Structure 1
Amino acid sequence: MTRLGILLFAHGARDPAWAQPFEAVARRLTEQASAQGHLVTLAFLEFMSPDILAAGAALAEQGCTEVAVVPLFLGAGGHVRKDLPRLLAELAEAHPGVQWRLSAAVGETDILIQGMADAAWSLAQPGT
């Protein structure tokens, strides 16, 4: 039986307040996914914990046999194109019973592009 894990991956920052929107995304997604028995975790590239190797290991230890890695990046720059595949290769080697699947960066999806355009339009209006 397949148990899906969703690993949200963000850059990280020294300021803990920076993570608040990403933590809100993880909470909302957990509400959706847990109803179907899926697990959600948030990991960071640097400065914050957990890192992706620890978060991925935790999902594997909780019985996930498939993990969708979703980069919470606006675009697929060097971290998504270079760093992330290397880290996923490490996870695949450490947890060979898990299928690791990398998705597109969320910022490259039509729904987020439209959401940002809508937010920019709203914020640009007088009195906002």
Structure 2
Amino acid sequence: MLLLVHGRSGGVVPDELWHLAQQLAERRQAPVLVHPLTAGMPNQLRDGAGMPLDAALPLTLAPLMLLPGAHVRSDLPRIVEQLRAIRPGAQLRRLPFVGAWPQWIAALREEGQELGLPGEVSPEPPLLLHHPLEGPLARRYLGTLTARSGFRCRATPYSAEHLAELRLTLHAPALPLALAANRLTDELMAVVGAPLLQRPRFRDCLLQVLEAQP
């Protein structure tokens, strides 16, 4: 299995994602590779010990993306083509991006209920802070996410100016829509809490779904 993830500057993979891959490999008893979007696809895939993978073996590609942004719409098809080029004739199974999983939406809904829905802790639904998206597909997705999760989606640019303003103005309960540590959670951990993979509900959701794949 190949986990396609958001890398940080310089192609660094956050620790949460390495830990997820290690747990998943132990459960599946099979190699689990991690590839950041910020790095180019190598000519040959290698396992965690650096050994080349048999190019004829089937491969499952799991894009660990939470939104249907440019990475899902543009980068993912390009990476699929690259994988097929370096593994000609091998079976390639591609999973939907995580944000489209019913199990993931259910986990968000449960988290939102604990943060506080109307009439409970807060007079308004909690906020789901997400990277800004553009286009009709994004608007449809965010509308569906709002309806199914119980959150109010709020676009949150990661610039220093916007994060500083958010630190001063955010009063409602909020959840960062980020699997692993990023600029939002780095700057506003005390306000929005830990990234999602540091929360058992979301880590368990990913492990259960990915472990069950062929």
Aligned mates of 1:31, 1:42 — CA distance in 2: 15
**Counterpart residue number, 1:31:** 26
Whether the aligned pair in 1 keeps the contact of 2:46 and 2:53 (CA below 8 Å) is yes
Whether the aligned pair in 2 keeps the contact of 1:57 and 1:91 (CA below 8 Å) is no
1:77 is aligned to 2:69: yes
Please give the secondary structure, in 2, of the residue aligned with 1:76: coil
- The Cα shift of 1:8 comes to 0.5
Q: Deviations over 1:46-100 (max 9, x none)?
A: 1xxxx46239622593225111110111123221121111122122112214222
- The Cα shift of 1:12 comes to 1.1
Please give the secondary structure, in 2, of the residue aligned with 1:70: strand
- The Cα shift of 1:16 comes to 8.9
Aligned mates of 2:16, 2:103 — CA distance in 1: 17
Query: Match for 1:98 among 81, 90, 95?
Result: 90
| 1:14-93 superposed matches below 5 A | 14=9, 19-34=14-29, 38-46=30-38, 51=39, 53-54=41-42, 57-58=45-46, 61-63=52-54, 65-93=57-85
TM-score by length of 1: 0.72
1:11 is aligned to 2:6: yes
Q: Flag structure 2 segments of 5+ consecutive residues without an equivalent.
A: 122-192, 194-214
Identity %: 25
Larger Rg: 1 or 2? 2
Of 77-86 and 13-22, more deviation after overlay is shown by: 13-22
Q: Structure with the greater relative contact order (CA < 8 A, sep ≥ 6): 1 or 2?
A: 1
Whether the aligned pair in 2 keeps the contact of 1:9 and 1:69 (CA below 8 Å) is yes
Of 55-64 and 68-77, more deviation after overlay is shown by: 55-64
Q: Deviations over 1:91-113 (max 9, x none)?
A: 21122142222210112111111
- The Cα shift of 1:120 comes to 3.0
Structure whose residues are more often strand by fraction: 1
Q: Flag structure 1 segments of 5+ consecutive residues without an equivalent.
A: 1-5
Please give the secondary structure, in 1, of the residue aligned with 2:103: helix
- The Cα shift of 1:18 comes to 7.1
Please give the secondary structure, in 1, of the residue aligned with 2:54: coil
